[in-house]
Structure 1
């Protein structure tokens, strides 16, 4: 019975810590620091990197980018450490730490307890989670985003398509790197792919307003013009 108890403890501890880290909304913090305003009342109203760059300027935008990315990395490292400490590394169970941490930190970013549950869309923090699964997952997904964003100038379009496709990249590279080598089981592949689909649905769902504007042709194209 030791594994079930330790597994539950690892999941709860990782989820709580990662959610709280995710709830630190750096877009709100840095915009208030530099502009003395709440980013949620500016531009698109989204507490995210694109809106900060567009409406608050380069400095808060760059800082938001760095720290939103780093909180995902830190959360996944903590999750892996907790799962390894409580479950050991002799089985595949410790690998779930990255997924529990990654999902929890992104949900914290979207629904931050410290800021009235009004956060961002989770794109950057999701990107850091994908990096921690294995770098090629992020490389392929970022390529999808970058190609679409550069061709269309719609960051939201690139974000939505990248969010919709990252479960495939996660499955593909887990299969190539871990399943084929016997490091993980088919059950692990199924569970982690379902977890990625769950997160993908949340990230795409957070872009519902952007999707509507894209359909109606009213979505703003991205530029670094600083709108005060």
Structure 2
């Protein structure tokens, strides 16, 4: 199969996988309100946690992370071309952020990006996760943890897994993550950002 066709099929399949809205599905499973109707309105694990249902939030987190893991591992099982594998990873991430099933209004992509990094090269994933946990534990702000981890991830990739296609892919994901958290940045500076575990009104 021509390289362009392989890349296109890989991107489409990974994008559709990434588009699965686990936040909405897990909320329905537990009889909760649509996460797009409360809190930050973001269909992600942190906002589902604001419902007070930890099980739904954990299920959302696992589902969103697995989208990134499966996309990368499946692509790697089918090809030895890391360029195509990187395309699968970023396509799954983009699918989460711009979900076709949610009219292209998806989540912010933190968990899916984490899954991509863990499957790409686990030391990078673990280092980025450790960064997230440290910032989240010390500040209680999920958004601050996501922003710091996003900034660190391209440098960690360049250091621990210096493949050009992956460094570019991770840098693009980091930029999208920062853009998706733009409103959070404003709230962090104004002291109006919600902390982890704070329930919806």
Number of the residue aligned with 1:16:
12
Q: Could you list the runs of 4 or more consecutive aligned residues of structure 1 that deviate by over 6 angstroms after TM superposition?
A: none
Q: Does the aligned pair in 2 maintain the 1:11–1:97 contact within 8 Å?
A: yes
Asked whether the 8 Å contact 1:133–1:170 carries over to 2, the reply is no
Q: Deviations over 1:117-163 (max 9, x none)?
A: 11100000100100111111011111111111111111110111101
Q: Which of 161, 166, 175 is 1:174 aligned to? A: 161
Q: CA deviation at 1:226?
A: 4.3
**2:82 is equivalent to residue 109 of structure 1:** no
Distance of 2:57 and 2:166 partners within structure 1: 32
CA distance in 2, matches of 1:191, 1:100: 9
Q: Are 1:145 and 2:118 an aligned pair?
A: no
The equivalent of 1:183 in structure 2 is: none
Task: Tell me if structure 2 keeps the 8 A contact 1:98–1:132.
Answer: no
- Residue 71 of structure 2 is aligned to residue 75 of structure 1: yes
Indicate yes or no: 2:117 matched with 1:121. no
Residue among 206, 224, 227 paired with 2:180: 206
Query: Structure 1: 5+ residue runs without aligned partners?
Result: 176-188
Q: Normalising by structure 2, what TM-score? A: 0.94
Name which of 109, 120, 141 aligns with 1:154: 141
Kept after mapping to 2: 8 A contact 1:14/1:78? no
Q: How many residues align?
A: 201
Determine the structure 2 residue equivalent to 1:57: 53
1:179-223 deviation line (CA, Å, top 9, x unaligned)? xxxxxxxxxx33332222111100111111111100111111112
TM-score of the superposition, structure 1-length normalised?
0.83
In the alignment, is residue 163 of structure 1 matched against residue 159 of structure 2?
no
Report if aligned partners of 2:18, 2:67 keep a CA contact under 8 Å in 1.
Answer: yes
The secondary structure found in structure 1 opposite 2:108 is coil
CA contact (8 A) 1:31 1:56 kept: no
Give the drift of 1:11: 0.9
1:227 alignment counterpart: 200
Task: Supply the RMSD in Å over aligned alpha carbons.
Answer: 1.6
- Structure 1 pair 197–71 and aligned structure 2 pair: CA distance change class (3 A): same
Q: Distance in 2 between matches of 1:76 and 1:194?
A: 15
| CA gap 1:119/1:56 in 2 versus in 1, 3 angstroms | farther
Find the residue that maps to 1:18 and give its secondary structure. helix
